[in-house]
Amino acid sequence: MPNKITCLGSFVVDLTCRVEHLPLPGESIVTDYFKMGPGGKGSNQAVAAKRAGADIVLMTKIGTDILSTVALESFKKEGFDDKFIIIDDANFTGIALINVDKNTGQNSIAVAPGACEHINDNDINLLKPQIEASDIFLTQLEVNMDAIEKCINIAYENKKMIVLNTAPVRQISDDLISKATIITPNEIEASILTNVEVTDIDSARKAAHVFFDKGVENAIITLGKKGSYINDKKTEAIIEPIDVKTIDTTGAGDAFTGGLVTALAEGLSLYKAVEFATATASLSTTKFGTAPSMPYRKEIDDLIKKTYV
């Protein structure tokens, strides 16, 4: 049986347009493609993990507005325990406004987290026994920081593996960083958090050592088309990206993190877990959307066999 994972994270409704190019400041673009669907970093990562076979619980918070129905329908479909889906009468369900370049797959995103920025002590008390009963605690930076800090402290005090995905990036304390077992920034996030401009393997190595000086045990820095840099203080490695037909990169980072925690929960080494995460992320870019693009376990296993075996 895989180990249990608890995720504290965001849910937002993705409002996505595909455009000929990402708009410049002040530019309006007409498009014939629009789609609404479930998203948010916490929800996306939890969906990715669940579809990949993980035993995972998600806590998030939504409003009572019309967009909340998108959340509730999605959580029911994916099989999440609604005990940890908190309804907030005072705040709106989060939204993300997404433009995707139909030629390159690149995207630009504006997020209004809404209710999931208002996770309070009552919500945390509800989640506390679940964190204590889990083996891995996963979180990002898309809910209110005081909730993140309190839940990481619960996980840390109970000696759980803590996976901290540093998106969307914001300044966080060295004390919080020091409690992460694994930190998973991309090159931009790593640059901001370490003051090392990360552009290649050498600079990723320098950034990883800054994280180690702050107390982190393992660093995984994703470098886009250059792959993923892994360092566990003893050894380092690069996992190359997998060549697939990319049509939409939105949510690829979330797919990576969801795949990573799934593999770790199954006892894979950090290196093998990043291979699994890379396959998960690669597959997500071959479909449109965020949560809807997350691959299922058979797809991941098939790509891993084709790529690494």
Q: Which residues are known to be catalytic?
A: 254
Handedness of CA 16, 21, 27, 30 (dihedral sign): negative
**How many Å apart are CA 235 and CA 259, to the nearest integer?**
22
What values do phi and psi take at 216, rounded to 5?
A: -65, 145
Handedness of CA 264, 189, 256, 232 (dihedral sign): negative
What values do phi and psi take at 52, rounded to 5?
A: -80, -5
Tokens 């088309």, residue? 225
In sequence order, what DSSP letters do the residues of 223-237 get, joined into one string?
Answer: -GGG-EEEE-SS-EE
220's enclosing H/E stretch is strand 218-222
| Residue 5 in tokens | 């994972």
**How many Å apart are CA 84 and CA 222, to the nearest integer?**
30
35's enclosing H/E stretch is strand 34-39
CA 252 to chain centre: 8
**How many Å apart are CA 249 and CA 115, to the nearest integer?**
26
| Residue 3 in tokens | 């180990």
